Structures are given as structure tokens and as C-alpha cells.
Amino acid sequence: MIKRALIKLIVFLALVSIVIPLLIILIWSFASSWPWPYMMPQNFSLRGIEEFFGGYSGAVNSMFTSVLVGIGTAAFAVLISIPAARAIKLYDFHGKSIVDFLLLLPVIVPATSFAMGIQVLFIRTKLNDTIFGVILAHTIVSLPYTVRIMAEVVTAIGNKYEVQAYVLGANKKDTLLKITIPLLMPGLVSAFSMAFIISMGQYFLTFLIGGGAVVTLPIRMFPYIQSGDRQIASMYSLMFILITLVVLLISDKLVRRYYNFESTYFFS
């Protein structure tokens, strides 16, 4: 009994240690001064709201840019990952283990190292300063995650349902649309969510590749965090978290309307 209580306590503490910092962000978003040694802010203001929604700062535009880039990245990464994951899990070929290893690289090697080397190539190919270029770069760093998630789902369902569809007379296209995609859906949503989260959070890569033409939320937020304007930085963080969650929830709900499945990686 004591043990159970102890376990409960630990779980509770874990939750608290997640929630408290987030709560502080929420409070700071509306606090104008919160000096030592007070446990609560002494003054509140709507400066954060004004900055974000006042219309002049471009924050709302940035939010849309971020979401656009995030969704683009996620869609792109997922599309690339499906065949890649299937190739790795359902086929036997020479160099499989090398491919497996290479696909892990973008998460292993610091994104900054890669970004610094890639910048000139992107400028030369005119991909720099374009949304597409940013999406491309984000896709590269998301791939290890999306491929791995898709690989897990592919392993779980194998290709037996597809063979079944062929047996029942379905051609490649029908099988892909009516069997493969629906069955991969939970994994697709998970991979999509993961890529979206990764894209949303990119600062350095966006900044190098997007220059100033693609001003995402982190690009707008970073100077405030650096300059230590806690209220505005917190408001940006808050909105960042909210918009990320909203997009994830909407995409999940949308997909669930058409395909029913039990659970995904990010939502349970």
C-alpha cells in the first residue's frame, strides 16, 4: 500500500514538474513585473497580447508561415518516408544496413553543422529565402524520425493485406488508396505530428535557409528571448505551444473522421 502511494506520488511529481514551468510561461505572458521575492507578479499588463495580435508586429503572419512550413514539411517528410520505410522493412537488398545507418545521420549530426555547410548550395540553387527551401531543409532533419515511425507501422502490418487485395483483384492503385494508406494512417498521423513538431521548433536552420524571407514564429521569438523581454517572449512561447497543439489536434481529428483507428504515436 505504501509502495502504491509512493508510486502515485512519483507520477504526480513528474506531472507537476511538467506543468509548473508551463504555468509560469502562462503567468509571465501577462506579467509586467515580478520582482524578488514575490511568488506572484506585482503587475499585470496586456503588452504581450498587443505585441502578438496588435497587427503591426507580423506575429500572426509568422504564425501562419510557421504552420505552413510545418505542414509542408510534415507532408513532404511523410510522403518520402512511406516508400523508404517499406523498402527497408519489406525488401531485402544490398546496402540495406548502410541505408539504415545513413537515415539516422540527420538526427545524429548537429543540425547546425549541416546547416552551415548547406547554406551556399541553397543560395546557389535559389532555394534560399524560399518557403520551399526551408521546407526542404526541415524535411531532411525530420526524416530519421518519420522513417523510423513509418518503419514500425510497416513492420506491424507487413504487406499481407496488400497481397490479399491483389488476390481479390485489386490493382496497384486501388490497393494503395484503399488498403495501404488507410492501414498506415495511425503511423502517418504520428509521423506527421513528429515532423510538424520538429519543423515548428527549428530556429537556426530556418534562419540560415529562410534568410529573412521566411519569418517563422521562432525567428520572431528568438530576439525577444535573447533580449530578455520575458513577457513578450512568454507570450510568443505560449502562442507557439498553443498553435502547435491546435494543428496537431485538428489534423488528428480530421483524419479520424475518415479513418477510425485506435491510437497514434503522439495521441493516445
Partner 1 sequence: MNKKSLVPYLMLMPAMAMLAVFIYGLFNGILQSFGLLKSAGLNKFTLEYYSETFRNGNLLNSIKVSLIISAVSSVIAVILGVVLSYLFCRTGFVNKRAYNIFKLPIVIPHIVVATLVINLFSQSGLLARLCNLLGIIGSQQEFIPMVFDEKFKGVILGYVWKEVPFIVLVVATIMSNIDGNLGEAAQNLGASPFKAFIYVTLPLCFPSIAMVFIIIFTYSFGAYELPMLLGPTFPKALPVQAYIEYTHPELAHRPYAMVLNTIMIVITIAFAIAYHFLIKKINKKVEVRAYD
Partner 2 sequence: SGSNKKGAVDRTDFGAVLAAAKGTTVNFYGWGGSELTNKWIDNYLAKYVKENYDIKINRVPMDIDQILNKMIGEKQANVKKGSVDLVWINGENFNTAMKNDLLFGPFTDYLPNYEKYVDVNSDEVKYDFGYEINGFEAPYGKAQFVFINNPEATPQASKSAEELLEYAKNYKGRVTYPAPPDFTGSAFVRNIIYDIVGYDMVKNLSADKEEVYNAIKPAIDYLKELKPYLWKEGKTYPSTIAQLDNMYADGEVIMTMSYNPNHVAAMIQTGQFPESSQSFIFDKGTIGNTHFLAIPANAANIDGALAVINAVLTPQMQASKYVPENWGDLPVVDMNKLNEEEKELFTAVKIGKGVLPPEELLSKRVGELKADVVPIIEEIWQEEIMK
Partner 3 sequence: MKGLILMQLELRDVTVSIGGNTILKNVSLEVEKGEIICLLGESGCGKSTLLKTIAGILRQDSGKIFIEGKDNDGVPVEKRGTVIVFQDLRLFPHMNVFENVEFGMKIRGVPKAERIRTVQAAINSVGLSGLEKRKITEISGGQRQRVALARAIVLKPKLLLLDEPFSSLDESLKDAMRELVLNIHKQTGITTIIVTHDKKDALIMANKIAVMKRGEILQYGPAKEVYENPASREVADYFGNMNYFKGKVVSNTFYCSHFKIEAPVEDGTYSVMIRPKDLEITQEGDFEIEDIKYLGDRYSIQIKKDGDCFNILKENCDNFKLNQKVGIKFDPSKIIYFKEKEN
If the CB atoms of residues 99 and 170 are measured against partner 3, the closer one turns out to be 170
Q: Which of residues 2-61 bind partner 3 (CB under 8 A)?
A: none
CA 237 to chain centre: 15
For partner 3, which residue of 114, 259, 265, 266 counts as binding (CB under 8 A)?
259
Give Cα separations from 267 to 187, 219, 254 (angstroms). Answer: 11, 28, 14
Torsion of CA 127, 132, 138, 143, to 10 degrees: -110
Question: Is residue 176 near partner 3 by the rule CB under 8 A?
Answer: no
* Site track for partner 2 across 221-250, x = CB under 8 A: -xxx-xxxxxxx------------------
Stretch binding partner 2 (CB under 8 A), from 31-39, 142-150, 156-164, 187-195: 31-39
If the CB atoms of residues 103 and 185 are measured against partner 3, the closer one turns out to be 185
Partner touching 261 among partner 1, partner 3, partner 2, none, CB below 5 to 8 Å by kind: partner 3
SS3 percent helix, strand, coil of the chain, rounded to 5, is 75, 0, 20
Q: What DSSP letter does each residue of 120-154 carry, written as one string? A: HHHHHTT-TTSHHHHHHHHHHHHHHHHHHHHHHHH
Question: Is residue 169 near partner 3 by the rule CB under 8 A?
Answer: yes
Question: Is residue 160 near partner 3 by the rule CB under 8 A?
Answer: yes
Question: Is residue 159 near partner 2 by the rule CB under 8 A?
Answer: no
Partner touching 183 among partner 2, partner 3, partner 1, none, CB below 5 to 8 Å by kind: partner 3
What is the number of other CB atoms lying within 10 angstroms of the CB of residue 8? Answer: 10
What is the number of other CB atoms lying within 10 angstroms of the CB of residue 63? Answer: 19
Nearest-approach distance from CB 14 to partner 1, in angstroms? 6
Nearest-approach distance from CB 139 to partner 1, in angstroms? 6
Give Cα separations from 127 to 82, 124, 189 (angstroms). Answer: 25, 8, 28
Q: Are 66 and 200 in contact (CB under 8 A)?
A: yes
* Site track for partner 1 across 22-61, x = CB under 8 A: x-xx--x-------xxxx----------------------
Distance between CA atoms of 126 and 117, rounded to whole angstroms? 16
Stretch binding partner 1 (CB under 8 A), from 51-59, 162-170, 194-202, 251-259: 194-202
Nearest-approach distance from CB 28 to partner 1, in angstroms? 7
Residue showing cell 501577462: 30
For partner 2, which residue of 4, 17, 36, 113 counts as binding (CB under 8 A)?
36
What is the number of other CB atoms lying within 10 angstroms of the CB of residue 99? Answer: 15
Question: Is residue 178 near partner 3 by the rule CB under 8 A?
Answer: yes
